[in-house]
Each structure stands twice: as C-alpha cells, then as structure tokens.
Amino acid sequence: MSVALSSFAVFAISQVGTPGPANMAMMATGARFGFRAALPFVAGVALGKQLIIWPMGFGLMELAERYPGVFVALKWASAAYILWLAWRVAHLRLGTPDAEARVPGFLAGLIVHPLNPKAWAMITAGFTGFVGPGTGVLQATATIAAVLLACQVVLHPIWTFAGDRIAATVAGRPAEQYLMWTLAALTAASVLYVLIGGGGAQ
C-alpha cells in the first residue's frame, strides 16, 4: 500500500492555502517589513513543519496515544502563544517607524509550526486519513513531507506578498488599523476553530 497521493495533494493545497496562524503571521510580516525582508522568515516557516512531520511519522503519534494529557497541555500552550502573537499583530502600525522593530528571521519562522495547533491537526489528518495499511514508515513520512513542503514553497510567499501589497495601499491611513485587527482576529479564530474540534488548515 502507499499514500493516496492525489487526494492528499488536494487536501494539502486546500489546507496550506487557507487562513491560519502561519499564513496570518507571514502576511503580517510581509505587511510590516516588506516581501523581500520577510523571505527568511517564510523559509523558516516552511521548513519548520518538517520538525513535526518526521517525529510524528516515526512514532510520535503512538506516544500521543499513551500520554494524551501531555499533548492536550501542549495544544493549549501553543494556542496561548499564537493568541499572544495575534494580540501583537493587532497593535502593529505599518506607517509608524519603530527603531526597535526587527524583521523576524529564519529561526523565528522555524518555531511557528511546532507551536501551531493547526499544523499538528493537519499532519495528524495526513497520516491517519491518507496512508494505506502496510505502507512503510519512511515512504509515508517522506511523501507527506514532500507534498506539504511543495505546497508551502508555492503558497507561503503568496500570503507574504499579499501582506506587502496590502500594506502599500493602507499604510498610514485609517484602514490600516482595521487591517491589523482583521489579521489578528482571523489568527485567533483559526486557533479557536481547531481547539473546539474543527479542521486543520495552516
């Protein structure tokens, strides 16, 4: 048996391309610092998902079944972190120079998905819903990792560029405040959606 590649690819595109904590973080970073400056952060976000996929493929799901309380606590702690990020996004102002503001780099991006409950939900769905019985661990994990990375390489920069273009339109205008609050609200809503049992988008 193997991974249902076509079905999983459609699932991955729909999930990577929809609003969620990671996409909102990249959009906000692109809006605040510009597309080019945000690219190291985007690269970190894309590769950070691999830090979940490979451990999960090689036994982390079994560990979760044995100690569910630990993973429930991790999910809520991660959600709290993402909500804190949303609060910070809400208070960003694109047109206000800030000498202390620094562009988040590769390492900052690397931890986004390990702290993103939606990423965990999506990857879990990938292993449980699209991997056929008897599929080798390496084959299943490598396939899921490759498909998700390919989707991220294409779709993550689009979200970041969208933030950059939107910022160029609204920076310093009354609409700026509403934009940042909207980004923050979408980030918070995406996390709460997972916590109450919803899907697993980015």
At CA 93, angle to CA 115 and CA 178, rounded to 5? 85
pLDDT, position 75: 65
Domain count, the chain: 1
Which of these, 37, 33, 125, 25, lies nearest to 81 by C-alpha position?
25
Per the prediction, the chain carries an average pLDDT of 80
The pLDDT of 19-24, averaged and rounded, is 80
**Tokens, residue 152:** 């991220």
Whether residue 88 is contained in a domain is answered as yes
Burial of 59: CB neighbours in 10 Å, binned 0-12, 13-18, 19+: exposed
How far apart, in Å, are the Cα atoms of 136 and each of 56, 83, 168, 188, 190? 14, 37, 48, 37, 33
Whether residue 86 is contained in a domain is answered as yes
Largest CA distance in the chain: 57
pLDDT, position 195: 62
| Whole-structure pTM value | 0.74
Whether 44 and 138 have beta carbons less than 8 Å apart is answered as no
Summarised one tens digit per residue, pLDDT across range 163-197 is 888 877 876 777 777 777 877 777 677 666 656 65
Confidence of residue 200 (pLDDT cuts 50, 70, 90): very low
Instruction: Give bridge partners of residue 131 from the DSSP assignment.
Output: 3
Whether residue 91 is contained in a domain is answered as yes
The pLDDT of 11-17, averaged and rounded, is 87
Whether 48 and 110 have beta carbons less than 8 Å apart is answered as yes
**Tokens, residue 130:** 């699209």
User: Looking at 26-30, 38-42, 152-156, 173-177, which range is the least confident one?
Assistant: 173-177
Whether residue 202 is contained in a domain is answered as no
Whether residue 200 is contained in a domain is answered as no
> DSSP code of 135?
-
Whether residue 174 is contained in a domain is answered as yes
Structure-model confidence comparison of residues 142 and 91, the more confident one: 142
Which domain does 69 fall in, by range? 5-195
Whether residue 201 is contained in a domain is answered as no
Summarised one tens digit per residue, pLDDT across range 39-74 is 999 999 999 999 999 998 888 666 666 777 766 676
What 3-state class would DSSP assign to 51? Answer: helix
